[in-house]
Amino acid sequence: MGFETGQLDERINNAKEEMRDLIGWAFTHCLSSRSFDYSQVRVQTSAPASAAVPVPNMTLKQARVVRVLRDLAPEQASWLRYAYAGRDALSEYPDIETTAKWLWLNHQSTLGELTQAKQSRLQGFVLPALQQIRHEQNTGERLYTTARLLELTADSVSATQPCWKRDWAPHWRTMCGDLRNLDHVALLTALAKYDLDRKSVNTDNRKTA
């Protein structure tokens, strides 16, 4: 039983890695359809921006990846593009905006009664959480130590080392856990849609042959 579970986990991990590679490969031939001022990165409330569009020399396989991502839930597609497409900061902005909004609203729904001041301070962890989990999924390593995270969020959060474990670490772990789960579900959903799209195209080709 344990061996079968191990095999299943390995197949799932391999499938997720395949989808990561496909996204990175496909988006090397994409252009951003919008540009944004990166200095405005924060938890936003505007509607998701349009995704990257394929350029003329894109292959059918690459176009399929882009099309599949557009069929995902906005937060799933935005996260996968942000995490694995390897684009410049301006091109990433709309996906950061959408994923950050999703993460904050998701976390906010679990907070209960908190002062507006503490909620505002908690928002300071949203963007570092995105950066942390993207780095983790691509390298297997953490991006921020606790000391570095506190230093990075000093202006917005004002957290101190003594109160980290009590007041802030649970929120940080929850945000990171939510992003890991988003990554897992989005990758497997994208791969399933990619395989379905490929089979559908092959069936249509056989019918018209």
Buried b (16+ CB within 10 A) or exposed e, 92-114: bbbbbbbbbbbbbebbeeeeeee
Closest CA to 19 of 64, 73, 75: 64
Q: Let me know if residue 151 belongs to a domain.
A: yes
Give the span between the Cα atoms of 135 and 84, in whole angstroms.
10
Q: How far apart, in whole angstroms, are the C-alpha atoms of residue 1 and residue 15? A: 21
Q: Is residue 143 part of a domain?
A: yes
Whether 207 is covered by a domain: the verdict is no
| Residue 166 included in any domain | yes
Q: Which residues of the chain have pLDDT under 50?
A: 31-56, 204
- The count of other CB atoms within 10 Å of the CB of residue 78 is 27
DSSP 3-state assignment of 50? coil
pTM of the model: 0.80
Is position 23 within any domain? yes
Which range marks the domain in which residue 40 is found?
A: 2-202
Per-residue pLDDT of 58-112, as tens digits, reads 567 777 888 889 899 999 999 999 999 988 888 899 999 999 999 999 999 999 8
In a domain, residue 208? The reply is no
The count of structural domains within the chain is 1
Contacts of 109 (CB under 8 A, 6+ apart): none
Residue 209 lies in a domain: no
Asked if the structure places residue 117 within a domain, the reply is: yes
10 Å Cβ neighbour count for 187?
25
